[in-house]
Structure 1
Amino acid sequence: MAASEQGVQSASGMQIVTVNMVSDVVCPWCIVGYQRLQEAIKTLDNIEVDIKFHPFELNPNMPEEGQNLREHIMEKYGISEQQSAQNRARLVEAGEQLGFSFNFTDDSRMQNTFKAHQLIHFAAENGLEEEMKLALFNAYFTDGKNINDLGVLVALAQTVGLDKSEAEQALKSEKYAQAVREEEALWMQRGIQSVPTFVIGNQGVAGAQEPATLAAFIAQAASQQ
């Protein structure tokens, strides 16, 4: 990554470090990682963090109707029902510590996220990328909504301040489909195979790392600018 991408200095004299977060909105550890990043940011002195989100599909071949979440996780990772339940309990606890609610049920479904990523791309062009990303995380994990449904997505777009008709047209026309595919391919070519992955300066940091770890990487990137 070029030095210009690592960060600059703001008008106030604070250093700006860009954190590129590669993630999927049905990835529970991605929202945990985001919340931990927020905790890390609170501990930084004289460093401003600019978060940029990048798409990654955990299940690019997921059918439109999705799949039962528990069945999907057991099949994909070869784990037992008991292990799946333990994983959910860990996530609920991690979320509670960070102020995020995971509401898993036996009917929770893994969903196709290609439309959601297109909506985030549209939101980014309107300066509402982070708001849209968070709205999708909350809709999926907390409210149990189908974030592959056009009506749900359009309604969510409106809640963050996007024009409802423009959002609907962008999704129906798949205006941003190619852009999302190209960006997904770009990050995979850079070696990212799992999410969340944070690219901070010249370092790729995989997983929902603890706040102190993320803060250290950000501080290191700032010192190298």
Structure 2
Amino acid sequence: MPFELRPYPSETLKPEGDYLQTTWENSVYPMAEHFGVKIVLPRVSPQPHTHLAFEGYQYAKEKGKGNEYNHRMLKAFFQEEQDIGSIEVLTKLAGELGLNEQEYREALETRKYKEVHHHALQHAYSEANIQAVPTFIIGDTKVQGMRSKLDLEQIIDDELAKKNKVVD
């Protein structure tokens, strides 16, 4: 689900600033190394607003390519340091996935999916009370932050057991 830590028009962070440098050095890079994920703190400064990329996700989802789209956007930003706040960059990336570039660009320029994205954010902020990424909602349990596979499996098993008790 879409989630923006600093939605437009909030000011975004600068990668050269102390906060991001320290956070990535102390938390993100060690965690990425632990999980074998190649990732870099993108030098795009300031960090782009992501509302257009998320609106583009709604288009891709309609076309049956939502998961591919998300993977490509994350790779473009966190591995290739591309500016995913740029309509030109987003359109090129959508085209790489086989999405119709003209339709996609028009959807972003007209803000066709603005309300759908806004509704998804409202759900995350208000209804689900999400305040961090990643957040997983498994049954009645909300899990914020990174957890091991074993922890997640245990939470799933616990939730399934609770559900089965209610059914019995």
Deviation at 1:193, TM superposition (A): 2.0
Q: Does the residue aligned with 2:16 lie in a helix, a strand or coil?
A: helix
Give the structure 1 partner of residue 146 of structure 2. Answer: 208
CA contact (8 A) 1:196 1:208 kept: yes
Instruction: Please say if 1:88 is aligned against 2:24.
Output: yes
Report what 2:6 is aligned to: 59
Matched with 1:198 is 136
Q: 1:147 aligns with which of 56, 66, 84?
A: 84
* Contact residue 132 and residue 157 of structure 1 kept, 8 A: yes
Q: Cα distance, 1:220 vs. partner?
A: 3.0
Shift in alpha-carbon separation, 1:221–1:162, aligned structure 2, 3 A: farther
- Give deviations 1:1-58, integer Å, cap 9, x for gaps: xxxxxxxxxxxxxxxxxxxxxxxxxxxxxxxxxxxxxxxxxxxxxxxxxxxxx11111
List aligned pairs for 1:36-185, cutoff 5 A. Answer: 54-60=1-7, 61-62=9-10, 67-71=13-17, 74=19, 84-89=20-25, 90-104=27-41, 109-185=46-122
1:146 Cα deviation after fit: 0.4
Query: Which of the two has greater strand per residue?
Result: 1
State, as a whole percentage, how many aligned pairs show the same letter.
25
Alpha-carbon contact 2:56-2:104 (below 8 Å) kept? yes
User: 1:105 offset after TM fit, Å?
Assistant: 6.2
CA distance in 1, matches of 2:114, 2:44: 29
C-alpha RMSD over aligned residues: 2.2
Instruction: For 1:101, give the aligned amino acid.
Output: K
Instruction: State the TM-score, normalized to the length of structure 1.
Output: 0.64
Distance in 2 (CA, whole Å) between partners of 1:99 and 1:160 is 25
- Look up the SS of the partner of 1:56 in the other structure: coil
- 1:217 maps to what in 2? 155
Verify the 8 A CA contact 1:108 1:144 in the aligned structure 2: no
Q: Distance in 2 between matches of 1:207 and 1:140?
A: 20
Shift of 1:186: 1.6
Question: Is the CA contact 1:62–1:111 (under 8 Å) kept in the aligned structure 2?
Answer: no
1:108 Cα deviation after fit: 5.3
Partner AA of 1:204 in structure 2:
K
2:72 aligned counterpart, secondary structure: helix
- Identify unmatched segments of 5+ residues in structure 1: 1-53, 75-83
Aligned mates of 1:58, 1:218 — CA distance in 2: 27
Q: Find the aligned partners of 1:187 and 1:106 in 2 and give their Cα distance.
A: 28
Cα distance change on mapping 1:134 and 1:107 into 2, 3 Å: closer
User: What amino acid is the match of 1:208?
Assistant: M
Alignment: residue pair count: 160
> Structure 1 counterpart of 2:15, which letter?
L
SS at match of 1:111: coil
Query: Match for 1:91: what amino acid?
Result: V
Partner Cα distance (2:66, 2:100) in 1: 14
Give the superposition deviation at 1:219. Answer: 2.8
